[in-house]
Amino acid sequence: NAGVTQTPKFQVLKTGQSMTLQCAQDMNHNSMYWYRQDPGMGLRLIYYSASEGTTDKGEVPNGYNVSRLNKREFSLRLESAAPSQTSVYFCASREGGVPYEQYFGPGTRLTVT
Amino acid sequence: GENVEQHPSTLSVQEGDSAVIKCTYSDSASNYFPWYKQELGKRPQLIIDIRSNVGEKKDQRIAVTLNKTAKHFSLHITETQPEDSAVYFCAALASGGSYIPTFGRGTSLIVHP
């Protein structure tokens, strides 16, 4: 049982390049989330998927797109990376209903130059 | 929407001392308040949570208190140890919706041996 996994762990992009961050969970959770973490800013929600087949914007969705590929996988795409997207990205999942605990992946550290 | 304020941003204590981190929230509909611990370079992990029908909850050296009237909740760590050094995040959410927690900005706790 690997929990929530993310790839890659580190990535450096040039401004304007695109990339997709991958997230998968093996806990049969219904809901999945993408957060970004910047120093002093806490965890800010980018997009979430309450259940397979649905996605919704969070607090900071501009410049990102997501795909809930199936129940296990939720990907985050940067179409044209900008230096402001330099951050650590965390994927999370939860079962739905009770309990409310979110399980986080190990994170992806992205640098855009 | 919900707004969560967390203080202090940094807390430095000597080993064996107690540490208190405080959070306030704005939405009276919030009824679930988790606390996450994030060690350096690691993922956030749930350490304790409290629901609005409970005023206090303890788990060994960690306790959380909630004052619904004042809309604030606090994390108390007693007999601190160096391994308690981490960033702690509070969060608030209303459990009846799509479960979107709002996180505080985090407190960096440093425990000096």
The pLDDT-based confidence of B97 (bands split at 50, 70, 90) is low
Q: Which of A96, A101, A107 sits opposite B43 (nearest CB)?
A: A107
Q: Is the pLDDT of residue B35 over 80?
A: yes
What is the model's pLDDT at position B96? 66
Q: CB under 8 Å to A94, separation ≥6 — which residues?
A: A29, A30, A31, A33, A100, A101, A102, A103, B99
Over residues B66-77, mean pLDDT: 96
Over residues B34-59, mean pLDDT: 94
**Amino acid, single-letter form, for residue A58:** G
Q: What is the mean pLDDT of chain B?
A: 94
Query: What's the Rg (C-alpha) of chain B?
Result: 14
Give how far B83 is from chain A: nearest CA, Å.
Answer: 19
Q: Is the pLDDT of residue A6 over 70?
A: yes
Q: How many helices (H) and strands (E) does chain B have?
A: 0, 11
CA-based max dimension of chain A: 42
What is the model's pLDDT at position A40? 84
- From chain A, the residues in CB contact with B89 under 8 A are 42-43
- From chain B, the residues in CB contact with A106 under 8 A are 42-43
What is the model's pLDDT at position B110? 98
d(CA A1, CA B48): 23
